[in-house]
Structure 1
Amino acid sequence: MKILVVGATGTIGKAVVAKLEKEHTVITASRKNADVTLDMTSVASIQKMYEEIGKIDALAVAAGSAYFGPLETMTPEENKQSIDGKLAGQMNLVLLGLNHLNDGGSFTLITGIMMDDPIKQGASAAMVNGGIRAFVKSAAIEMPRSIRINSVSPNVVQESWDKFADFFVGFNPVPVEKVAQAFVKSILGGQTGQNYEVY
């Protein structure tokens, strides 16, 4: 299979690539240090990427930035960072990618535990995670040509615990390998409209 991994240089993205590259052709996409340069907040950048790589069998997204901060001081502009960086960016990868996906291909997007288990300063991030889950569930019933779409919802991963421990008080981080395995399940499996929770 020819698989495009967006966010391939991040902690989760690297683990997904490592799981797939031995048996599949993996194309990496990121803002830097990847096969293809991509800014997923830019429609033009997404279009250019698809034109450059041609037809693919699967797209997996392990990227998406969101705003963290207190609700009472959050501005509409700060909230829009989450919408553009994670919600709209992933939706546009699907909308613009449909014609570049082979019959029977798949999309795998990323959500996150905060939509189910809230944390302080995480309202904006939780909102876009929930939006992606709803989009996946709804889009699955309209996908053409036997294309599947799922999402993976990771807990905070052990490999990033030092960076995020203060936000996720009392959480039990999971190994990134478990999150990567959920991506493999989505890409190579048969289900659609699912949100694979790795909590």
Structure 2
Amino acid sequence: MRILIIGGHGTIGKKVSAHFSEDNEVLIAGRTNGDFLVDIEDISSISKMFEKTGQLDAIICIAGEAKWANFNDLSEDDFHIGLNSKLMGQVNLVRLGQNVLNPKGSITLTTGILADDPVVMTTSAAMVNGGIHSFVQAVALELENEIRVNAVSSGMVEDAYEKYKDYFPGHNPIPMKKVVNGYVRSVNGKGNGEVIRIYD
């Protein structure tokens, strides 16, 4: 398969890219490096990327930002960071990406445990993740050419544990192999409209 991974050099992305590279042609897109440069907040940037990729069998997005801060400190602009990046960025990847996917191709988006089990300072991120969960379930009913779309929602991954452990008291770090398998299930399985939760 030809697989495009947006965010393929990040903490999770590099492990997912390494796995799929064993048996597939993997193309990596990112904001600052990769085979293609893309800013998912900018729909014209997404469009230009897909003009260059050619036809694909799978698209995986492991990118997107949201502001972490106390609710009373979040401005409307702060909320728009997550809405423009992680939410609409991934929605627009589906909107445009379906046009470069071969029949029976797949799109995998990324959310996280905050949609179901938020912690302090994550109001914006939790809202965006939950929105993507609902989007995936709804858009799966309408995509044509047997294209599938799912979301992988992981807990705090072990490779980011030291950085984020103080934000997630009592949470168990998720082994990277389990996280990678979530993406494998989405790409190689038959599920559609699923939120693949990896929380323990």
Match of 1:151? Answer: 151
Deviation at 1:45, TM superposition (A): 0.6
Tell me, in whole angstroms, the C-alpha distance in 2 between the residues paired with 1:118 and 1:33.
Answer: 31
The one-letter code of the counterpart of 1:23 is D
Match of 1:20? Answer: 20
Percent identical residues: 42
Say which SS state the counterpart of residue 11 (structure 1) adopts: coil
Deviation at 1:52, TM superposition (A): 0.5
For residues 81-136 of structure 1, give each alpha carbon's deviation from its aligned partner in whole angstroms, at most 9, with x where no partner exists. Answer: 01111000000000011111110000000111011111000010000000000000
Deviation at 1:20, TM superposition (A): 0.4
Tell me, in whole angstroms, the C-alpha distance in 2 between the residues paired with 1:37 and 1:118.
Answer: 32
Deviation at 1:143, TM superposition (A): 1.0
Deviation at 1:19, TM superposition (A): 1.0
The one-letter code of the counterpart of 2:135 is F
Is contact 1:82–1:128 with CA below 8 Å preserved after alignment?
yes
Tell me, in whole angstroms, the C-alpha distance in 1 between the residues paired with 2:71 and 2:33.
Answer: 35
Match of 1:37? Answer: 37
Deviation at 1:158, TM superposition (A): 0.9
TM-score by length of 1: 0.98
The one-letter code of the counterpart of 2:196 is Y
Tell me, in whole angstroms, the C-alpha distance in 1 between the residues paired with 2:173 and 2:87.
Answer: 24
For residues 157-194 of structure 1, give each alpha carbon's deviation from its aligned partner in whole angstroms, at most 9, with x where no partner exists. Answer: 11111111111111111112211110011001111010
1:7 partnered with 2:12? no
Is contact 1:157–1:175 with CA below 8 Å preserved after alignment?
yes
Tell me, in whole angstroms, the C-alpha distance in 1 between the residues paired with 2:65 and 2:7.
Answer: 11
Match of 1:125? Answer: 125
Is contact 1:58–1:106 with CA below 8 Å preserved after alignment?
yes
Say which SS state the counterpart of residue 44 (structure 1) adopts: helix
Stretch deviating more after TM superposition (163-172 or 74-83): 163-172
Match of 1:81? Answer: 81
| 1:107-186 alignment runs, 5 A limit | 107-186=107-186
Tell me, in whole angstroms, the C-alpha distance in 2 between the residues paired with 1:176 and 1:41.
Answer: 27
What residue ranges of structure 1 are gaps of 5+ in the alignment? none
Deviation at 1:22, TM superposition (A): 1.0
Q: How big is the alpha-carbon RMSD for the aligned residues of Structure 1 and Structure 2? A: 0.7
**Once superposed, which parts of structure 1, at least 4 consecutive aligned residues long, lie more than 6 Å away?**
none
Tell me, in whole angstroms, the C-alpha distance in 2 between the residues paired with 1:5 and 1:13.
Answer: 8
Tell me, in whole angstroms, the C-alpha distance in 2 between the residues paired with 1:167 and 1:82.
Answer: 18
Q: How many residues align?
A: 199
Deviation at 1:33, TM superposition (A): 2.4
Match of 2:71? Answer: 71
Tell me, in whole angstroms, the C-alpha distance in 2 between the residues paired with 1:82 and 1:167.
Answer: 18
